[in-house]
Amino acid sequence: MEFFDAFFSGLNWLIGQLWGLPMMILLIGTGLYLTIITKFFQFRKLGYILKNTFGKIFEKENKTLAGVMTPFQAVSTALAGTVGTANIAGVAAAIAIGGPGALFWMWMVALVGMMTKMVEISLAVHFREVREDGSVYGGPMFYLSKGLGRVGKPLAILHAVAVLIGGLVTAALLQPHTAAAALEGSLGINPTLSAVVFAVLTGLVIIGGFKAIGKFCERLVPFMAVLYALGAIIIIVINFASIPHAFGLIFRYAFAPAPAIGGFAGASFAMALQKGMARGMFSNEAGMGSAPMVHATAKTDHPIRQGLWGTFEVFVDTIILCSLTGLAILTTGVWDSGLSGINLTIRAFEVGLPGNVASFLVMTGIVLFAFSTQVGWYVNYQTAVHYLFGDKGVKYLKWIYLLPGVIFAGQGANAVWLFGDLACGIMGIPNLIGLILLSKVFMDLYRDFIKKEGLDGKHLEIVKGEN
């Protein structure tokens, strides 16, 4: 018993270091550096980015380009892996521990993260592996090893191992576990039964390969995001008069300690900063190198064009969905209730919406978000397996992904969360280092795209299919 106590105590310490000040400096520093060298592209050209992402959702697929998924399928699959319980419970936990000011720092991480994700996705497409059978693999392990040679190989292996562990723990185990617990609490459904159903449904999707996953996420993700967003928007509109006060709390306590009020224990400036940044990164995963593995499979005529979808992805995940959760909590006045995590979000919906609508929306959101994350993250898991063990590894390790949720159904998962946090923290380090070292490669791609698009004021025609 003493051994396990010491082990988990040491694990907690290591995670604290990984998600502490050094990681925050590396995360924000990388995002700022990339933002500066592109002359604040994500702000200057936000209209252009939205026009060429959201504005082209219904554009017909270009079947002449290499790739497996359409750009929108890729972003939907990536969002399936990022839009999840972090948007519902993570934001609430950040506010409950760090105070309203944590939301401000979550925004700051997102604003620079928009460029970080654009860069990592662009590099993933540039260095991807297009095979003779039409399959495509890419991501940090490929641009680290190909772009940095001997220096990048150890970083690539470290990232791939972290993805493997993170996939099995956070996506394959904790997502169905969270959904099963929600269904048991709301409807009394046996968690093992729920986990088995999740495993079967996930298996039916992934057996069709990356293209089937893309088509599935293309349909599910917009539906679940809009459903949850509508519930939060209704709450905010009903409490319209409280919006100025909510923003006042956010900006006031972003730079000053939040005093103890009601059930809120109070929070220092450092706590607001740390919790906001950590939850921001955990929510949109900018800098972790997870989304690039999905976007690398997209059909696109230029790496930067797909990178634009990464900027759009962070914008939707954090600037829109996380903000809606935070404002729902603040405008209903429940942020200082003493509740935290999913319970705080549920409380905000109960106060803001009539009858059983609140519990239905939150439960449905948890189940759909968890399921989509489990399905979407499989692309990352298989990419890591392929990089480490090749095609034979994929053949035999593919189905292991379905087992953790069933094996641990109904059991406590608090200790498992630690391994998930550890893996996610480790993923970010080699990837962020790689983004800095490969920034020259990115800038060559960036300048080429700017000229072709005429964004430098000198319009040149794009040659279809040219990279």
DSSP letters for 64-77: TSS-SB-HHHHHHH
- Percentage of residues of the chain with pLDDT beyond 90: 34
Split at pLDDT 50, 70, 90, the class of 41 is very high
Q: Could you report the per-residue pLDDT of 208-242, keeping only the tens digit for each?
A: 888 899 998 988 888 888 888 898 999 999 999 99
Evaluate whether 202 touches 406 at the Cβ level (below 8 Å): no
Q: Give the residue among 335, 308, 304 at the shortest CA–CA distance from 49.
A: 308
Single pTM value for the model: 0.87
pLDDT (0 to 100) of residue 411: 64
Instruction: Give percent of the chain with pLDDT exceeding 70.
Output: 89
CA distance 398 to 46: 39
Q: What integer best gives the mean pLDDT of the chain?
A: 84
**Strand pairing category for 136-137 and 129-130:** antiparallel
Q: What would the mean pLDDT of 399-408 be, rounded to a whole number?
A: 86
DSSP 3-state percent helix, strand, coil across the chain (nearest 5): 75, 0, 20
CATH fold of 7-453, please? Amino acid/polyamine transporter I (1.20.1740)
Where are the domains positioned within the chain?
A: 7-453
What single-letter DSSP state applies at residue 400?
G
Instruction: Identify residue 47 by its one-letter amino acid code.
Output: G
**Residues near 247 by Cβ (< 8 Å), separated by ≥ 6?**
none
pLDDT tier at 147 (50, 70, 90 boundaries)?
Answer: very high
The answer to whether the CB of 310 falls within 8 A of the CB of 121 is yes
The dihedral formed by the CA atoms of 200, 204, 205 and 207, expressed in degrees to the nearest 10:
120
As given in the structure block, the two tokens for residue 227 are 């459903």
- 409 phi and psi angles, rounded to 5 deg: -60, 130
415: pLDDT strictly greater than 70: no
**463: amino acid identity, one letter:** V
- d(Cα 323, Cα 318) in Å, to the nearest integer? 6
Find how far residue 383's CA is from the centre of its chain: 17
pLDDT at 86: 67
pLDDT over 70 at 265, yes or no: no
Q: How far apart are CA 105 and CA 283, in angstroms?
A: 13
Task: With a cut of 60, say whether residue 461 has pLDDT above it.
Answer: no
Residue 142 pLDDT class (50, 70, 90 cuts): very high
C-beta pairs of 344-351 under 8 Å, 24+ apart in sequence: 344/92, 344/93, 344/95, 344/96, 345/88, 345/89, 345/91, 345/92, 348/92, 348/235, 349/231, 349/235
- Predicted local distance difference test score (pLDDT) of residue 462: 38
Q: How many CB atoms lie within 10 A of CB 226?
A: 11
Residue type, 53: T
pLDDT of residue 416: 63
Assign 459 a pLDDT band (cuts: 50, 70, 90).
very low
Q: CA 376, CA 382: separation in Å to the nearest integer?
A: 11
